[in-house]
């Protein structure tokens, strides 16, 4: 096995350190520092990687599953799709015509994808922009400015989602209200569920925590001092009604709500949805747009059906985002590549 390039914090990776003279395995190990910067549900980072010659095998790490909010590992697989897309973008940035093969082994459901380096090919301007966005993309849970998003930008985002095999519905104006009410209903159900609260609390950390995963208080818009009480509050009280009121306001006040959907509802579709989500988020950053998630009605089965009927016309909803112009935020922690590498 080749030695892992020791970058303790993957956010500290620099493209000028790319090991040009080294083997393809070394190059891929270096690129994994970008893959792990992808978003993931509760920042669980539920992935593992194995480097074999000029390929990376991307595995789902189901030990990091969220049994209550995500009993079928749907969002877990989407998160692995996002990491796979990040890795592909990095490979393109460093001049490889990389290819991605999704679920290549029908006998191994944990093998999510194989990314192969391929021959040399210069990245396009747009691919370089996606790469730059890897460092700046954040989940932004704060309110957005009341400023409309240009239609042409929304159309480009929809094309990015379609390029990965999923679909995008964009909801603006008064149409947002119906979806916002389903989101609020999801909040009430989840906030009233002790098991849901306990699971979420386990992944929320005080802002100054040294933890390499989970959601730090600052990322949820909580001040440093208050963040120490966060896990206790989340675990103990039924905050469903309060969250519902806040999310109604956030949804109403955001220029657009976006729903990513797929034709079916199996691992392949979840994977495509995850790649589409990541493509959308990176491109959105290039347009200086921020996003955060309002997935609650997708995580409650009967509400998911309502979203399908109301918004996605029978296609299966996989992710709900609100989008707009927000302010810059601190980044959330990541585990080093050495922790997610299969020797």
Ligand X SMILES: Cc1cc2nc3c(=O)[nH]c(=O)nc-3n(C[C@H](O)[C@H](O)[C@H](O)COP(=O)(O)O)c2cc1C
Q: Calculate the dihedral angle through the C-alpha atoms of 169, 325, 218, 60, rounding to the nearest 10 degrees.
A: 30
| Residue 79 in the binding site for ligand X (CB under 6 A) | yes
Name which of 39 and 308 has its Cβ closer to ligand X. 39
Whole-angstrom distance, CA of residue 261 vs CA of residue 169: 8
| Closest approach of ligand X to the CB of residue 3, in Å | 28
Question: Any contact of residue 190 with ligand X (CB under 6 A)?
Answer: no
Strand partners, 102: 113
Which residues contact residue 321 at a Cβ distance below 8 angstroms, ignoring those fewer than 6 apart? 257, 258, 259, 260, 280, 291, 292, 293, 294
Both structure tokens of 48? 């593992």
Q: Nearer to ligand X by C-beta: 37 or 51?
A: 37
61 binds ligand X (CB under 6 A): no
**Nearest partner of 280 among 264, 298, 269, 292, judged by Cα:** 292
Site for ligand X in 211-250 (CB under 6 A): 215, 219
Q: How far is the CB of 237 from ligand X (least distance, A)?
A: 18
Taking Cα atoms as reference points, which of 246, 255, 263 lies closest to residue 321? Answer: 255
Return the bridge partners of 168, or none.
260
Kindly state the tokens that stand for 307. 């979203």
Q: Is 139 in the site for ligand X (CB under 6 A)?
A: yes
* Closest-approach residue to ligand X (CB): 39
Place of tokens 């021959």: 119
Among 75, 164, 185, 247, binds ligand X (CB under 6 A): 75
CA-CA distance, 307 to 318, in Å (whole number)? 10
For ligand X, the closer of residues 51 and 189 by Cβ is: 189
Q: Interacting stretch for ligand X, rule CB under 6 A, among 73-81, 106-114, 154-162, 184-192?
A: 73-81
The CB-of-220 to ligand X minimum distance in angstroms stands at: 7
Torsion 92-326-258-190 (CA) sign: positive
**Rule CB under 6 A: which of 323-342 touch ligand X?**
332
Q: Is 207 in the site for ligand X (CB under 6 A)?
A: no
Q: Which stretch binds ligand X (CB under 6 A): 40-48, 85-93, 260-268, 300-308?
A: 40-48
Q: Which two tokens stand for residue 304?
A: 């998911």
What does the per-residue mask of binding to ligand X show for 85-114, with x meaning CB under 6 A?
Answer: ------------------------------
Rule CB under 6 A: which residues touch ligand X?
39-43, 75, 78-79, 82, 138-139, 141, 215, 219, 292-293, 295, 332
């Amino acid at each position: 096995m080749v030695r892992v390039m020791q970058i303790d914090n993957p956010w500290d990776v620099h493209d000028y350190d790319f090991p040009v003279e080294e083997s393809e395995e070394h190059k891929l190990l270096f690129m994994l520092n970008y893959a792990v910067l992808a978003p993931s549900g509760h920042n669980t980072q539920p992935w593992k990687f194995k480097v074999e010659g000029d390929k990376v095998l991307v595995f789902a790490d189901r030990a990091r599953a969220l049994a209550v909010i995500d009993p079928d590992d749907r969002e877990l697989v989407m998160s692995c799709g996002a990491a796979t897309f990040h890795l592909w973008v990095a490979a393109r940035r460093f001049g490889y015509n990389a290819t991605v093969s999704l679920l290549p082994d029908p006998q191994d459901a944990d093998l999510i994808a194989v990314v192969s380096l391929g021959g040399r090919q210069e990245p396009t301007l747009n691919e370089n922009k996606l790469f730059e966005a890897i460092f700046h993309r954040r989940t932004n849970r704060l309110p957005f400015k009341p400023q409309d998003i240009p239609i042409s930008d929304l159309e480009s985002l929809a094309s990015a989602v379609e390029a990965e095999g999923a679909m995008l519905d964009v909801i603006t104006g008064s149409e947002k209200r119906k979806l916002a009410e389903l989101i609020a209903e999801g909040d009430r159900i989840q906030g009233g569920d002790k098991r849901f609260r306990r699971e979420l609390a386990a992944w929320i950390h005080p802002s100054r925590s040294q933890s390499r995963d989970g959601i730090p208080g600052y990322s949820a818009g909580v001040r440093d001092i208050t963040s120490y009480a966060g896990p206790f509050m989340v675990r103990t009280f039924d905050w469903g009604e309060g969250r519902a009121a806040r999310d109604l306001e956030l949804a109403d006040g955001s220029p657009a709500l976006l729903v990513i959907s797929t034709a079916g509802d199996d691992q392949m579709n979840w994977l495509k949805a995850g790649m589409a989500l990541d493509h959308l988020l990176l491109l959105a950053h290039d347009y200086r747009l921020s996003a955060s998630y309002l997935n609650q009605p997708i995580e409650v089965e009967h509400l998911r059906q309502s979203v399908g009927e109301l918004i996605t016309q029978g296609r299966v909803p996989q992710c709900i985002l609100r989008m707009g112009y927000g302010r810059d935020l601190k980044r959330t922690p990541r585990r080093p590549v050495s922790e997610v590498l299969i020797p």
